């Protein structure tokens, strides 16, 4: 049992990484990297936006986001529309196919997690439920 914050961090970080890796391993369409899925997720969460705004949200350089958008557009997962306020910019939005892909990916991870959570007893599930707000707070959410 960890007694200091450093010891807790030493134990918690690899456990979180293992959990994240296990959920990611349930991916359905591995032809898209997590970077592409993250960009789609940002468009669902934050709505349509310019490429520059999407790069900012995703914390990548604009040229990198331009490449991501090109691949997503080529696959029919996003569309570009002229910005009505600035014709020099395009607004990027997710398509129904993009939403469907993201929903499928999320559902696969959630199904895997739900099946493993079902193996825990009620007290263990309750303990995990209490941890969620703490993890969100640590993540800055």
Whether 14 is in a domain gets the answer no
Whether 16 is in a domain gets the answer no
pTM value? 0.81
Residue 96 maps to which CATH number?
Answer: 1.10.10.10
pLDDT digit string, tens, across residues 46-101: 999 999 999 999 999 999 999 999 999 999 999 999 878 888 889 999 999 999 99
Whether 79 is in a domain gets the answer yes
- The residue segments making up the domain with residue 81 are 27-138
pLDDT digit string, tens, across residues 9-51: 999 999 999 999 999 899 888 889 999 999 999 999 999 999 9
The residues near 125 (Cβ < 8 Å, ≥ 6 apart) are 117
CB 26 within 8 A of CB 109: yes
Whether 49 is in a domain gets the answer yes
Whether 5 is in a domain gets the answer no
CB 51 within 8 A of CB 83: no
């Amino acid at each position: 049992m960890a007694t200091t914050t450093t010891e807790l961090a030493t134990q918690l970080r690899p456990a979180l990484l293992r959990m994240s890796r296990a959920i990611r391993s349930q991916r359905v369409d591995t032809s898209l990297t997590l970077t592409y899925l993250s960009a789609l997720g940002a468009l669902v969460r934050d709505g349509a936006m310019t490429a520059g705004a999407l790069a900012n949200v995703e914390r990548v350089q604009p040229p990198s986001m331009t490449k991501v958008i090109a691949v997503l557009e080529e696959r029919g997962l996003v569309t570009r529309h002229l910005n009505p306020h600035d014709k020099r910019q395009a607004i990027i939005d997710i398509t129904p196919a993009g939403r469907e892909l993201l929903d499928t990916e999320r559902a696969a991870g959630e199904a895997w997690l739900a099946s493993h959570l079902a193996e825990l007893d009620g007290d263990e599930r309750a303990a995990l439920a209490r941890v969620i707000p703490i993890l969100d707070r640590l993540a800055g959410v």
